[in-house]
Amino acid sequence: MSQIRILLADDHTIVRAGLKNALEVLPNIKIVGEVGNGHDLMNFLSQHQIDMLLMDASMPEFEPISAVQQIKTKYPDIKILIVSAYDDESYVVGLLQAGADGYHMKDQPLADLQLATQRILNGDRWISGNLIDKVINRRNTTSLPNTPWLTRRQRELLRLIAQGADNRNIALQLDLSIKTVENHLTALYRVLGVDSRLKALNYIHRHPEVFATSGQEMAETSPKQISSELTVLIVDDNARYRQQLGKLIGKIDSNCTVYEAETVDEALTLATQTQPRLAFVDVVLNGEDGIQCARKLKNVSPITRIVVISAYPDKEFRKQASLAGVIAFLDKKDLDIASMKQVIEDVLQ
């Protein structure tokens, strides 16, 4: 049997030594590297092939949720076991939902760590026994009677956080100072009732509806309770166009709920969680294939009726869209009140 290559990531040398001593007694295990921060971790992964990563949730130059998501996207075969001193259920649930295969507490016996490693390598999931009750209780209390209403700026901040952007990148994308971003985030956390970026990410996983915009808001009237009569997903990498299209929809149906996504992954996540009745998908999504996105949306949300839109429609695009099972292929410049009203009426019928 070939050796299983494991990378250790923790900013404490003594912790890495303990992990190494515990794992090297297992058969066919080889520790191929040790790193102490997020930069070195990503650099090592880009240069070496490994089978499993044991990593702390707190290291310099490291944001755990986005790191797990990025690793799982680039290296889907790598197994990830979080080995942490934090027992906050937000860390546990957030990291498991991001794609980690297991969460192990540092204060547990080494025999449990060895068992966790073997279980995950065999394709199972793992969570330390003393965390199970917390996670179960969390699941039983995640439903909130009223989701807070957020401004467009706050929703954009949440979207960037979900994509793994740090404060510097958020500042660059929104053309704000880092201090202003920090102030906005403080206010946002207060609205959500959380006190950290990780807890905000966990809140997003549990309440995707915070990304929604009411049709009345899109129509630039005062916000009110969102109706679930019609749920619409707009997938376009142009934020200004998404807003314009949302306003158009809101003028036709002020009781609708509108979600926005700028990437395929974001669209699939929202579609899985919300099951929209109608989706508008641009053919080109910042280098990604919008028609492939439409196919994937149908897989995760069969009830969704999809309209593919394009600024440069041609016969080949129309043919591919038809094969993908969309209900219409529309030129962006032809999307007006009349055509949008017809699409919405078709969906509601």
Q: Are residues 315 and 292 in the same domain?
A: yes
Whether 34 and 8 have beta carbons less than 8 Å apart is answered as yes
Q: Are residues 161 and 287 in the same domain?
A: no
Q: Are residues 126 and 203 in the same domain?
A: no
- Picking from 172, 191, 207, the residue at the C-terminal end of a domain is 207
- Picking from 140, 160, 192, the residue at the C-terminal end of a domain is 140
Q: Are residues 99 and 44 in the same domain?
A: yes
d(CA 349, CA 345): 6
Q: Are residues 110 and 45 in the same domain?
A: yes
pLDDT for 349 equals: 58
Model confidence at 348, pLDDT cuts 50, 70, 90, reads low
Between the alpha carbon of residue 135 and those of residues 15, 88, 103, the distances in Å are 26, 9, 11
Domain count, the chain: 3
pLDDT digit string, tens, across residues 115-127 = 999 989 988 888 8
pLDDT for 46 equals: 94
pLDDT digit string, tens, across residues 183-236 = 788 878 878 888 888 888 878 777 776 776 655 555 544 344 334 468 899 999
Q: Is the confidence at residue 339, as pLDDT, over 80?
A: no
What does the pLDDT average to over 230-250? Answer: 88
Q: Are residues 135 and 177 in the same domain?
A: no
Q: Are residues 250 and 324 in the same domain?
A: yes
Q: Are residues 183 and 87 in the same domain?
A: no
- Picking from 172, 187, 207, the residue at the C-terminal end of a domain is 207
Q: State the chain's maximal CA–CA distance in angstroms.
A: 70
Q: Is the confidence at residue 159, as pLDDT, over 50?
A: yes
Q: Are residues 219 and 334 in the same domain?
A: yes
What does the pLDDT average to over 319-334? Answer: 80
Q: Are residues 77 and 186 in the same domain?
A: no
What does the pLDDT average to over 72-82? Answer: 93
* CATH code for the domain in which residue 71 is found: 3.40.50.2300
Q: Are residues 40 and 130 in the same domain?
A: yes
Q: Are residues 108 and 9 in the same domain?
A: yes
Q: Is the confidence at residue 146, as pLDDT, over 80?
A: no
Host domain of residue 278 = 212-348
This prediction has a pTM of 0.46
Q: If 0-12 CB within 10 Å is exposed, 13-18 middle and 19+ buried, where does residue 77 land?
A: exposed
